[in-house]
Structure formats: C-alpha cells, structure tokens
Structure 1
C-alpha cells in the first residue's frame, strides 16, 4: 500500500509536544498524519478527498476546537471529528457530540482508546466517501440523458405506463418504449425497482412518491 493510500489523520493542537507524540504514535500504527498548530492553520489547508478523520484539541488560542467544529459543519465537511482535551467537562462533551463529533477523549489518552476512536472514525469516513462516489456516479449517469429521456425518466419512476407517458408527451408509445430502454441502459438499471431506487437516492423522487 502506497503512503498516499493510507488513512489520513489530521491533528490540530496548539501543544507541539502533543502534535509530535500523536504523529509518532499514529504513523507507527500505519496512519498518515498531518499536524496543525491552530484551527486557522488547518483551514488554510485544502482537505484531501481520502478516508480521514480529525483529532481536535478543544482549548486553543484563537479558534477553539468547538468553533472549528462549527465551521466544519457550516462547510458540510465530511471529515469525522474526535475531540481531545485536558480540561473537558460533561456539558462540553455533550455539546460536541450533539454537533456530530465521533468521540470526546481526555488527555492523556490511552493508546487503545485513541486507536479505537480513530479506526471507528475512519470506517465512517470510508462509508461516507463510498456513498459520495456512488451518488456522483449516479448524477453523471443522469446527466447523460437527453432532455426527452429525462422527461420519460421522471414519468417512469412515478409509475406511469408507456401509453400514459406517450399521451402526456404527445408522442407514440413505441417512441416512449425506445426512450425508456435508453434510460434504463444509461442509468445502468436492470429493473424498474432499481431505477426508482436511483431516483429516490438522487432526490428526484421522495420515499412517499416511491411507495405509491
């Protein structure tokens, strides 16, 4: 496995000794590590589209860890966040978890607890990334449909018969059948049920409409 393909851990902590210690430990355990001394420095970096997670100190000069998390949420960042703090309290951890943090660990953190949290975060990152790739592929397929095929697609996934679609679009049933076949081929759907599922996942069709 090349270094670039290793799961990535971002470490944001104002304590240089903590950054160094975590980096050495995580690299020894097979992870790729990038360290930052502040939230501001972290946001200057262009995130990589890879399986990753963020180890984030809570109490830092400038942007606090919770403020970094809030900024990430506003940007709809997919990177899972694990908080590390020497001064955490219950209310702070509850706030972090409610905002979507994967874990909230106290310093000094045990190696086993850290690796467990990082592994769980990377699993979630991998699953989310796979889902994004799949949806991007579906959007690409949808973009290959002609304007008329897209009209047929919208009607088909709502359960309309070929003759109903032909009447609504002012064309022949044979033409609709040809368009429908092309839609199935371009969307790589083997069945109507699969096409409906794709439409639901793309947001073209909501679950209530799919069930009708």
Structure 2
C-alpha cells in the first residue's frame, strides 16, 4: 500500500516495480514535515510486517516468501529492506504514522483505501473455516457465509476478512451504508490465541 499523495512522485523516481510487484504502505502525508520524514524512510526502506508463515516470518530465511520478493523489488531500486516484525495491527499503525515506508500483505477494504494506494495483488488466498473435530461443532453444517452468523467467533487484531467482515459486523453479507457494527465480538492478539480458544471450545 502506498500513500496516494506520494504515488506519482514515487513512480517517477523509482519506476513502476513498486506498484506491480509488492504491496507497500505509506500514510497520506499532511504537510511538508511528514513528506520529508517519508523521504528519509524511503531511503532507509523500513518495511513492517507480521508473523504469517510461510509468507512473512522473522524466523524464516529471507523473512518468508513474500518478504524475499519485497527485498528483491527494493534491491532493484538500490534499496536494502530493513524489516520490523510486529503484530499486524501495530504494523498498519506504524505505517499510518509515517514511521515506515510500507507494510504488507493486506486485504483491500474501503477504510484502508481512504489512506493507502495498493499495488496489484502479490498473492491470492481462499477462505476456509477451521473447527475442532473433537467436539460436536455447528461448523460441520456450514454451507454458505450466512451459516456462520450465529456462531461464536473472534477476530485477530488488525486483520480484515474481506467478504466476511460484513457478516461478522452485521450478520449479513451486505454491509449497511454508514451503520455502526451491531455484533459484540471479541478481538485477540494473534492467530495462535484464536486457535487456543478453538481447541478449548471457547469459540466455534
């Protein structure tokens, strides 16, 4: 994801590789001071991401498959990537505050589009539903998104779930316009914690 106000300037300076091969984020820069700070960060190539192996992980060679790809793109622009691995919510906030050149990988959604410009996708994912096979889970009977709306769920902080966001917020696959979420859902700090809760029967 790239800040919209800097997109044209960055394209002219570094070419289109940034937009075609990776998803970096740079917050919209209100004022000269923020823009100057962003230019310094660009030279340092500070990039933030989180633990999502095998795609991104500080415990994997090259920082994971996608991190290695981002490094190659930056190398082509004579920049060396400096990675910081944080919880994804912190990674997005750090980029929004102008403390890093960008962050990846992220789903596109309306809220993020207000502050960031996106490259073309660098990978595709599919939706799957995990459930605990050792208990009688209502998830066994799920055949469509709508079947998930009455189940006990949690979200991982900072994550977006694409088509599932409306369902989790409103109980419908279509988000009402300008309406606050009605669901009172828990938020956990990591996927690991979510799977612990699933194992212990705290969620479906």
The answer to which structure has the higher helix fraction is 1
**Superposition TM-score, scaled by structure 1 size:** 0.25
- Higher normalized contact order (CA 8 Å, seq sep 6+, divided by chain length): 2
**Superposition TM-score, scaled by structure 2 size:** 0.25
**Structure with greater Cα Rg:** 1
